[in-house]
C-alpha cells in the first residue's frame, strides 16, 4: 500500500489525473483519500477471501464430492444435457436457465452444508443472553458456529454424508425453521451480499464442466478445516474433453 501510494503521487504529477485501474487505486482515492493503510489492507484481504477464495474452494470441493458420488454426478449431467437439448447447441445461458437448474442447487446446498467454507461468524451480545442454563453477558464476543449446526445429526440425517437428494425431499429445510438450520451465507442484516452471485458462478462452472469434460481424481486428497476449509493438495484431477463437445 505504501509503494502504491508513492507511485500514485508520482504518476499524477507526470500524467495528470489517471483513470482508476484496480481495487488499490479505488481505495487510495475513496472518501477523499481518507482511508488509513490498515483499513485499505483490511478491504483488500476481505475482497480476496470473500470474493475469490470462498467461491474457488467451493468449486473444488463440489468437484470432489461429485467425483466420489457417481449417482449425483450422473443426475447433474442429465439435468444439464436436457437443458441444452431444449435450448439448442451453442446457446448462451440465461437467467431462466439458471433458475431451472434445480438439482444443481441441491448439489451446491449440500456442498455448502458439508464443507462449511465459512465455519462461523463473530458477533457481540447486545443484551444478556440466557441459553440452556448459561448466561452470556452483554458485550461479550460470540462465535456462532455454522459447522456445529450443519453437521448435527439432530437436524440432518447422516449429517457428515454428502447427500444432495436431501434437499429434494426434506421440506423442513425450505421453511422458516430451515432458515435457522442452513446459514452458509450468514443471515439477518449481515447476510452475505454476494450469496446469489456465488450460486450463479458455481452453477455456470458446473454446467460447462459436465457438458465439456470428463475427469477422475489424479491422487488421493482430503478436506481439512483448520484454519480454513480446503483440500490439502488442491484436489488434482485428470481432465479430458468429451468427444461430443469438440
Binding residues for heme: 192
Is residue 81 classed as helix, strand or coil in its secondary structure?
helix
Annotated binding site: 192
Rounded distance between C-alpha atoms, residue 215 and residue 194, angstroms? 29
| φ, ψ (nearest 5 deg) of residue 69 | -130, 80
CB atoms inside a 10 Å sphere around CB 184? 21
Is residue 123 classed as helix, strand or coil in its secondary structure?
strand
DSSP symbol at 190: G
Rounded distance between C-alpha atoms, residue 131 and residue 17, angstroms? 57
Rounded distance between C-alpha atoms, residue 136 and residue 138, angstroms? 7
Rounded distance between C-alpha atoms, residue 41 and residue 39, angstroms? 5
Rounded distance between C-alpha atoms, residue 97 and residue 242, angstroms? 22
C-alpha cell at 185: 451465507
Rounded distance between C-alpha atoms, residue 119 and residue 227, angstroms? 10
Amino acid at each position: 500500500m505504501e509503494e502504491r501510494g508513492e507511485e500514485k503521487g508520482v504518476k499524477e504529477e507526470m500524467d495528470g489525473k489517471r483513470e482508476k485501474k484496480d481495487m488499490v487505486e479505488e481505495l487510495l482515492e475513496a472518501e477523499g483519500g481518507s482511508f488509513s493503510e490498515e483499513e485499505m489492507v483490511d478491504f483488500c484481504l476481505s475482497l480476496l477471501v470473500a470474493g475469490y477464495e470462498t467461491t474457488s474452494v467451493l468449486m473444488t470441493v463440489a468437484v470432489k464430492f461429485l467425483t466420489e458420488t457417481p449417482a449425483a454426478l450422473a443426475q447433474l449431467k442429465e439435468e444439464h444435457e436436457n437443458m441444452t437439448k431444449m435450448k439448442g447447441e451453442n446457446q448462451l445461458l440465461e437467467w431462466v436457465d439458471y433458475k431451472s437448474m434445480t438439482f444443481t442447487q441441491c448439489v451446491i446446498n449440500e456442498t455448502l452444508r458439508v464443507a462449511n467454507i465459512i465455519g462461523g461468524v463473530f458477533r457481540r451480545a447486545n443484551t444478556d443472553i440466557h441459553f440452556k442454563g448459561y448466561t452470556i453477558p452483554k458485550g461479550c464476543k460470540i462465535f456462532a458456529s455454522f459447522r456445529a449446526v450443519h453437521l448435527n445429526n439432530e437436524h440432518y440425517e447422516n449429517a457428515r454424508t454428502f447427500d444432495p437428494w436431501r434437499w429434494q425431499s426434506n421440506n423442513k429445510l425450505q421453511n422458516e425453521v430451515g432458515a435457522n438450520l442452513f446459514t452458509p451465507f450468514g443471515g439477518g442484516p449481515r447476510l452475505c451480499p454476494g450469496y446469489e452471485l456465488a450460486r450463479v458462478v458455481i452453477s455456470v462452472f458446473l454446467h460447462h464442466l459436465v457438458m465439456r469434460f470428463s475427469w477422475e481424481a489424479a491422487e488421493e486428497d482430503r478436506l481439512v478445516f483448520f484454519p480454513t476449509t480446503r483440500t490439502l493438495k488442491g484436489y488434482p484431477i485428470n481432465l479430458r474433453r468429451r468427444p461430443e463437445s469438440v
